[in-house]
Structure 1
Amino acid sequence: MKLFQCQCCGQVLHFENTTCLRCGRTVGYLPDQDRMAAVEPDGPHWLMVPGQGAAGDGTLWRFCHNWELSACNWMVAPAPDGSEAPAYCAACRHNHLVPDLSAPENHARWQKIEGAKRRLIYTLRNLGLLMPVAGDGHPEPLVFDFLADDPGSVQRVLTGHADGVVTIALTEADDAARAQVKERLGEAYRTLLGHFRHEVGHYYWDILVRDGGALQGFRAMFGDETADYAASLSRHYADGPPPGWAASYVSSYATMHPWEDWAETWAHYLHMIDTLETAGALGMRIDPGVDTGELSAAIDFSPYRMVKLRQLIDAWMPLTVALNVLNRSMGQADGYPFVLPQAVQDKLGFVHDLVQGQRR
């Protein structure tokens, strides 16, 4: 995620900001311009505030309807024909079901979920990936359901994907509950954003692999996806990952089935892209003075450009080492508790090539 700047006072703005902390103006994210902007009210609309030598563009913006619920800071412009702006922004138009927001606990958890979703959508948009919404004629639009458990049922909502619908269980926004599941399952990493990145990976398997003519290459790299999924799931939770799995898979869960191997690899690709952009925006350079140069990296490029995977990996490996040792200095667990052996790098290359290929 890059850094932004208030056009009025020059203050650095972050993707989640709703107010400039220096000049106090309301700010919103303009997705089509990929920028944050300070705005001022004009009746039911908002106008961009002139600043830094630039005039306002006169566009009558609206905040996404979910802004009123403190759950979105994206803005929407009038339609090209001049008609009223849609109620929801480019990110929230993918929502299908949300929990009962009259319950304060549900509302607070949903706000966290929406924050993770916007970061996901930012990455997908900047990668130029297809993101159809319901009603635009695509046979498999990208749809999100955010569901709370029914207190009167023993059945629990499961996070997952099916036919374009990504379901996120509201309990995943409960930090304590998520930590308990992470501990129970022996997972190295479990976050809301990680869930989004993993589950949307299943969606893009449908779009880029199944429908994109890449099945043969996928099977050569990840295995035969026609293997019985339910049996694979049962076997994984009964027996765990096979011995020596870390030489070929990015996580133990990736060993469960080729679909999960793909989704875990896809999620790590998005981890890499977003974090490298953040490091570049901060002007980070990893150079501890080690003679071999193994930990040196100048992150002076945009991961969203047509770059080679090798360039991404060469910057990513030192950055994750730095991230982990900084976390340890704060008494925290490693922020990136993974390694990327050559077999995993090859799988990341397959994902990278598919993403880059659909942009040409």
Structure 2
Amino acid sequence: MKRFYCSCSKEVGFHDHVCKNCGRDLVYDPVLGTILSGELINTDCFIVHTPDGQKNRQLIACDNRHTTVACNWALVPEDQENDCECISCRSTRSIPDQEGTDKNPTRWYKLERSKRQLMQTLIDLKAIDATQPELYEDLEFDFLEDKRSNPDLELEHVLSGHYDGLITINAAEADEGFLHTMKEQMQERYRTLLGHFRHEIGHYFWLKFFHNEEMRKKFRKVFGDEREDYSKALKRYYKSGNQSHWRSRFITPYASSHPHEDWAETWAHYMHIVDTLQTAHSYGLSDYEPHKNSFDQWFVEWGRVTQVMNALNRSMGVAEPYPFKVSDIVEGKLRFIDEMICLYALNIKSPSQRKPKKVSVKSKKTTKENRNKSK
């Protein structure tokens, strides 16, 4: 995550609406990848101020700025005439019933907050082109509930996962207590809400990257044959438990269950690394930054940064934030993901190839059906 500043030169946060120093309104511009300061007029018209105090261009603030979501993003120019939500908010298809339980407004807020950070990283990596939002209309999110968090529902169990562009997240994972329970049940010690988003989006980009047999052959050389029966592989994994050999070949035990999950777990770890290393660079703790230096350079630098992170935590008497030991095999997988992202960014469709824009505005709805199939 980068550092952001108001035009008054004071640092502001990624999710901030107002500069605490000068009182200017703030908006995040996904095209420029930065926070802009200025003045919000008539709830959605944002007048940008330059550092010298001059007013210049106008932006349209996301409609969710004034809802529970408290989104501080602006619409991209291509959406300003036909939509009212930013590129992140518009991808949400279903939300938990906001009147069903007192916890649901907070859950929706946390889910969208994590999704915006996910989107920011993807845009920064150029895996998503913010100027072409129509290319990602196949990406949707369902935030659903089940009886575990809302006894009034008929649905027994929401399976979080990805299926053909639709990512389903159990809304209760925004609760610390529920998330802790899932960590224990799934034996995923470092499971986080943001990490879960990063894992599931990895499945989405697998479809984007490996859309033909030629590309899938490249995938199989690194991660194995994804044609292995997925259901049987998961049953075998949960029946046998963690295998002792996983550390030499996989980033997590779950990654050993199937090549699809190996990809998604390694993808999520890649996103953890690049976001954290960008933060370290922004604060002057590192001279290297992903995608502005070679993989070899920034990956070696990542090792040094994690040493500092772990040492700081030990000094505080708390658990190390990065206990992972990345083997040579896992490093090769991370390198492959880095190469695929760079290749995909070069091949994103040009403006002349854009699909026709949908004019209608998609409304949010709640649902009791889990349309997701677990992967």
Most deviating of 20-29 and 269-278: 20-29
2:163 corresponding residue in structure 1: 162
Deviations along 1:45-101, whole A, 9 cap, x unmatched?
433353422622231x33211111142110125558xx6462100111211111112
1:283 corresponding residue in structure 2: 284
In percent, how many aligned pairs have the same letter? Answer: 38
Counterparts of 1:321-336 in structure 2, within 5 Å, are 321-336=307-322
- The code of the aligned residue for 1:314 comes to V
2:38 corresponding residue in structure 1: 39
Is 2:88 aligned against 1:87?
A: no
Please report how far the alpha carbon of residue 324 of structure 1 lies from its aligned counterpart in structure 2 after TM superposition.
Answer: 2.1
Counterparts of 1:295-314 in structure 2, within 5 Å, are 299-305=286-292, 307-314=293-300
Most deviating of 83-92 and 121-130: 83-92
Structure 1's 224 and 5: CA in aligned 2 closer, same or farther, altered over 3 A? same
Q: Distance in 2 between matches of 1:309 and 1:135?
A: 28
Unaligned stretches of 5+ residues in structure 1: 285-298
1:23 counterpart SS class: coil
Q: Distance in 1 between matches of 2:345 and 2:108?
A: 32
1:121 corresponding residue in structure 2: 119
1:58 counterpart SS class: strand
Counterparts of 1:64-83 in structure 2, within 5 Å, are 64-71=62-69, 72-76=71-75, 79=78
- The code of the aligned residue for 1:226 comes to R
Q: Distance in 2 between matches of 1:89 and 1:156?
A: 30
Q: Distance in 2 between matches of 1:74 and 1:98?
A: 19
1:356 corresponding residue in structure 2: 342
Is 2:5 aligned against 1:5?
A: yes
Deviations along 1:205-239, whole A, 9 cap, x unmatched?
11102348421121111111111111111111111
Q: Distance in 2 between matches of 1:323 and 1:178?
A: 24
- The code of the aligned residue for 2:46 comes to L
1:288 corresponding residue in structure 2: none
Please report how far the alpha carbon of residue 130 of structure 1 lies from its aligned counterpart in structure 2 after TM superposition.
Answer: 4.2
- The code of the aligned residue for 1:251 comes to T
1:75 counterpart SS class: coil
Deviations along 1:300-322, whole A, 9 cap, x unmatched?
233243x3211121111121222
Q: Distance in 1 between matches of 2:36 and 2:131?
A: 26
- The code of the aligned residue for 1:41 comes to L
C-alpha contact (below 8 Å) 2:41/2:47 kept by paired residues: no
Please report how far the alpha carbon of residue 10 of structure 1 lies from its aligned counterpart in structure 2 after TM superposition.
Answer: 1.1
C-alpha contact (below 8 Å) 1:164/1:203 kept by paired residues: yes
TM-score normalised by length of structure 2: 0.84
C-alpha contact (below 8 Å) 1:99/1:110 kept by paired residues: yes
1:291 corresponding residue in structure 2: none
Structure 1's 44 and 116: CA in aligned 2 closer, same or farther, altered over 3 A? closer
Q: Distance in 1 between matches of 2:133 and 2:270?
A: 29
1:204 corresponding residue in structure 2: 205
Q: Distance in 1 between matches of 2:129 and 2:180?
A: 31
Counterparts of 1:1-360 in structure 2, within 5 Å, are 1-7=1-7, 9-53=8-52, 55-59=54-58, 61-71=59-69, 72-76=71-75, 79=78, 84=81, 86-102=83-99, 103-130=101-128, 136=134, 141-150=138-147, 151=151, 152-153=153-154, 155-211=156-212, 213-284=214-285, 299-305=286-292, 307-360=293-346
Unaligned stretches of 5+ residues in structure 2: 347-375
2:351 corresponding residue in structure 1: none
2:169 counterpart SS class: strand
Q: Distance in 2 between matches of 1:40 and 1:135?
A: 26
Q: Distance in 1 between matches of 2:117 and 2:189?
A: 22
Deviations along 1:16-39, whole A, 9 cap, x unmatched?
112211112221111112121222
- The code of the aligned residue for 2:337 comes to V
Please report how far the alpha carbon of residue 132 of structure 1 lies from its aligned counterpart in structure 2 after TM superposition.
Answer: 9.7
C-alpha contact (below 8 Å) 2:40/2:47 kept by paired residues: no
Q: Distance in 2 between matches of 1:122 and 1:167?
A: 20
Structure 1's 134 and 127: CA in aligned 2 closer, same or farther, altered over 3 A? closer
